[in-house]
């Protein structure tokens, strides 16, 4: 019997470990407000689990990161353009970057949960959830969400759920936009 070589990978799968063809994270609708608000969503749910597999014995550690296709891009919603990485830390007022929009997207892996996938003998030791971080144009363009240190299982698989995503919405913005932001979830051996 010939075994296909394994490879380090990250994917979005359902409970039966089948790939989800078009994974998305819905953010809560915020009605029109006169103050700055925060819309929230969860990356990694029971129906859309983040699945990390290392059957290739990548033994010097790996990192899972989130990034947008281009730091200078914006959320698009009809005629509106919205930022996701404004340098103004509060995201309520436009900061000094390449666009004229406020808005800021925060990725918070700290409340997330990591469990072992299909490998019964594996453990979650040395699989590390990272702290909350905001996208900041040209500064924090790639956010680390999870890493496996060299001491983690050399061969194993893990499921990650419950990364909190928070998007600030400045005051006076129309409600319930159908906005979309593409993000890439990447895994890289160190």
Partner 1 sequence: LSTPLHAIEYGGFGGRPAYPRPDNDRTESIFIHTLEPGSEKAEWVRIINNTAERKTLLIYASDSTPSTGGAFACKQFSEEKKSVWSWISLTKTEVTLDPNTNEIVPFTIKVPGNVSVGEHNGCVLIQEKKASAKDQAGVSLSVRTGIRVAITIPGQIVRKLEIDGFSVVHNDKNIVLHPRVKNSGNVSIDANVVLTTRNVFGFVIKKHEGQYPVLRDEIADWNFELPKPFWGGMFRSEFVVSYDPRPEATVGVQDDTALEHIRSESNWFFTAPTTLGLIAEIIIVLVLGFAGFLGYVAQKRKIWIRENWVNYSVKSGDDIRTLAEKFDVSWKLLAKVNALQPPYSLKKDQTIKVPPKQ
C-alpha to C-alpha distance for 76 and 143, rounded to whole angstroms: 21
- For residue 165, the minimal CB distance to partner 1 (Å) is 6
Minimum gap (Å) between residue 20 Cβ and partner 1: 9
Quote the least distance from Cβ 59 to partner 1, whole Å: 7
Nearer to partner 1, 102 or 183 (CB): 183
Return the structure tokens found at 24: 């998305």
CB 147 within 8 A of CB 64: yes
Which of residues 7 and 33 has its CB atom nearest to partner 1 in the complex? 7
Q: Taking the mean position of all CA atoms in its chain, how far away is CA 105?
A: 10
CB of 93 to partner 1, least distance (A): 23
Q: Where are the beta strands (DSSP E) in 44-162?
A: 49-54, 62-67, 75-77, 80-82, 105-108, 113-116, 127-129, 133-134, 142-148, 156-161
Q: Min. distance of Cβ 28 from partner 1 in angstroms?
A: 10
With respect to partner 1, which residue has the nearer C-beta, 18 or 79? 18
Nearer to partner 1 by Cβ, of 36 and 142: the residue is: 142
d(CA 65, CA 186) in angstroms, rounded, equals 5
Sign of the C-alpha dihedral, residues 12, 14, 18, 20?
negative
Q: Which is nearer to partner 1, 36 or 140 (CB)?
A: 140
How many other β-carbons are positioned within 10 Å of the β-carbon of residue 134? 21
- The answer to whether 54 and 157 have CB atoms below 8 angstroms apart is yes
């Amino acid at each position: 019997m010939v075994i296909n070589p394994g490879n380090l990978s990250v994917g979005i799968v359902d409970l039966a470990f089948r790939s989800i063809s078009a994974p998305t994270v819905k953010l809560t609708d915020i009605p029109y407000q006169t103050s700055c608000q925060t819309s929230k969503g969860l990356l990694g749910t029971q129906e859309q689990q983040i699945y990390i597999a290392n059957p290739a014995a990548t033994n010097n550690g790996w990192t899972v990161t989130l990034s947008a296709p281009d730091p200078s891009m914006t959320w698009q919603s009809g005629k509106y353009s919205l930022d996701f990485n404004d340098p103004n830390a509060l995201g309520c007022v436009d900061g000094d970057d390449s666009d004229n929009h406020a808005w800021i997207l925060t990725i918070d892996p700290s409340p997330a949960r990591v469990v072992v996938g299909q490998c019964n003998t594996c453990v979650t030791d040395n699989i590390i959830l990272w702290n909350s971080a905001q996208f900041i144009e040209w500064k924090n363009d790639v956010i680390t969400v999870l890493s496996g240190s060299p001491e983690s299982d050399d061969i194993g698989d893990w499921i990650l759920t419950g990364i909190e995503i928070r998007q600030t919405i400045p005051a006076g913005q129309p409600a319930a936009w159908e906005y979309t932001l593409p993000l890439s979830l990447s895994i890289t051996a160190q």
